[in-house]
Amino acid sequence: MSSLLYLSLARNHLQGNIPTELGQLSSLKFLQLSSNNLSGTVPKQLYNISSINFFAIADNQLQGQIPPYIGLSLPNLEITALSLNKFSGPIPTSIVNSSMLTNLEMAFNSLSGPIPKNLGSLNNLQVLNFGVNFLESYNDLSFLTSLTNCTNLSFLYLSLNNLTGVLPSSIGNLSTNLIELRIDRNHISGTIPEEMGNLVGLQFLGLHNNMLRGRIPDSIGKLSKLKYFVASRNSNCSRLEVLDLSWNRLNGTIPKEAIGRWSVSRALYFVANRLTGTLPPEVGNCKNLITLDVSNNTLHGKIPSSLENCVMLETLCLQVNSFEGDIPSSFQKLKSMQVLDFAENNLSGQIPEFLGTWAYAMHPKILRGKVPIKGVFENISEFSVDGNNELCGGIKPLGLPDCPTEIAKKRESFPRRAIIATAEIVETWLNFEDEAAIGQNGRINRAIGDIWKCLGSVLSIGLSCSADSPSERMNIKDVLRELHKARNMLLGDQRRRRVHVSVHQRRR
């Protein structure tokens, strides 16, 4: 079988080691072993079949290092697919000797060390994927400058590594054919170069989860084909569908000139930056918007009522900012809403009743008034009102005090027997006061202490009925029992005293 040219065993359930005997296929040009469960190391003999131009062993459990001589022993390589394995060690610099390479994919491994700075020698390169490894740049991203020689480069993936340093202005000289550029989730610092706007072919640009700071350059407005990115100030990205600026150190305001032009945008993410100013009312022009997340910034001002126009909106996250004012009543038009988070702001006013029909996770801070009891507000696990000390009502598990109108109703319905009992106690006290004033009986003074004791009981009952927490308030049956007990004691003492006074008068 030494004359075999094509071997494909992809997408099976093969396991175990790759047989060393495959190295005897000296005429082999196409080897496809991807998506199996192969393990162990790759036989050195495979790396010596110089005729191979398609070498794919991705999505297995293979390990070990990529031979440092791979570019020398496999000079005819056009496609190299080693992703989704357990390869470790550095990327061999000899790979540039495979000058016909169009696809170089080594993502999702445990590769370490620097990215070779001579990759620009691969003039035919179209896809370069080193994402999800442990590659480092040691504060030097000059390898990007080298890649400007790859004029056919369409996809560049460097996400989730340990890259550090500042993006060079030469990044704007990468191929105008570049469709996707992903260098997100690294440790890149500095600002976004103005030259980034030269990459007019970009449809996907991922820079999120880095340490970028400063403003978004106006030049990115040239990226008219952009569908996913960190769009910019004065942007003309009319096709933008997803904008993600999250987890950087971007400051300044959200440009109103740009945000209104993203009319087809489905998702806008500005999470965890240092953005200031207000949320532009032009956001209401994004009528296809499904997700808006500007949480963890320092935005302020009122929540724009123009969001009522985003009738497809499902997720609205404004938490951890300084928004103020009321929740716009016009939001009741947002029938598709599933997640609403206004926590840790300076909102005021009442919680609108209509939120109960669609809010899922609503916990605005510093609101006042009555908490609704219908819809989502029937289940305490669906919302939170923590940090709001001026709320009342709501379902019992919230432990909020009754609202003033409810208290008034309870007072109106307070049992007449309790009112009569209290009145009789007070009347008895007044009678004692009158009798004590005219000095009819010296024993009255000795009874005053008992009367004070009874009045103390009445005061204690009153305080118990006024407790903030309903669970701490005295039950009405107990109130009646205690009041009647006090009344009977006083009335009984009054009757005994009147008998004593009558006998005393007769003796006189």
pLDDT averaged per 10 residues in sequence order, the chain, 508 residues:
90 96 94 97 96 97 97 97 97 96 98 96 97 96 96 97 96 96 92 92 88 77 74 43 74 71 73 89 87 93 92 90 90 84 85 65 52 70 64 78 59 45 49 46 54 66 62 66 69 50 43
Indicate yes or no: pTM above 0.75.
Answer: no
CB 380 within 8 A of CB 395: yes
- Give the model's pLDDT for residue 7: 96
Q: Is the alpha carbon torsion for 225, 231, 232, 236 positive or negative?
A: positive
- Give the model's pLDDT for residue 331: 87
- What are the structural domain ranges in the chain? 1-190, 414-507
What is d(CA 202, CA 183) in angstroms, rounded to the nearest whole number? Answer: 14
CB 231 within 8 A of CB 220: yes
- Give the model's pLDDT for residue 95: 96
- Give the model's pLDDT for residue 270: 86
CB 231 within 8 A of CB 240: yes
- Give the model's pLDDT for residue 279: 92
Q: Which residue has the tokens 């000296």?
A: 26
Q: State in words which class domain 1-190 has.
A: alpha beta
Q: Give the start-end residues of each E strand in 4-124.
A: 6-8, 15-16, 30-32, 37-41, 54-56, 61-65, 79-81, 86-89, 103-105, 110-114
- Give the model's pLDDT for residue 62: 98
DSSP 138-169: TT--THHHHGGG-TT--EEE--SSB-EEE--G
The type of residue at 324 is E
- Give the model's pLDDT for residue 39: 97
- Give the model's pLDDT for residue 234: 28
CB 129 within 8 A of CB 106: yes
Q: How buried is 371 (Cβ within 10 angstroms: 0-12 exposed, 13-18 middle, 19+ buried)?
A: buried
